[in-house]
Amino acid sequence: DTAVSQTPKYLVTQMGNDKSIKCEQNLGHDTMYWYKQDSKKFLKIMFSYNNKELIINETVPNRFSPKSPDKAHLNLHINSLELGDSAVYFCASSPRTGGYEQYFGPGTRLTVT
């Protein structure tokens, strides 16, 4: 059973397009996250939701909009994609907010051409 799943695994698209990445966790966790990992492997948090409520919103362009329809899902929508958006995006979850043990999805490799 996959604990944290993301779709799609790979996403290749052109500049200016709009795309979405979906994330689901079946761990019963209250908190979910989106991270961006750049080519140097540096992991940067983008957003965190606790029980469908946004609690962390780092300095991310407003072209990125997270949506949490329920506490098991956290989707990421990106408008007007730019070359610099190319990266691996990871979804994660933890039992509750506050830096507790986090479990990661397999990642989505986004390539913008």
Partner 1 sequence: GIQVEQSPPDLILQEGANSTLRCNFSDSVNNLQWFHQNPWGQLINLFYIPSGTKQNGRLSATTVATERYSLLYISSSQTTDSGVYFCAGRGSNYQLIWGAGTKLIIKP
Q: Which residues bind partner 1 (CB under 8 A)?
A: 41-43, 45, 48, 56, 88, 90, 92, 97-104, 106-107, 109
Distances (CA, A) of 13 to 62, 81, 101, 110: 19, 8, 33, 8
The CA distance from 85 to 25, in Å, is 24
Nearer to partner 1, 56 or 60 (CB): 56
Nearer to partner 1, 6 or 75 (CB): 6
Nearer to partner 1, 14 or 39 (CB): 39
Task: State the minimum distance, in angstroms, from the CB of residue 63 to partner 1.
Answer: 22
Distances (CA, A) of 111 to 24, 80, 83: 22, 13, 8
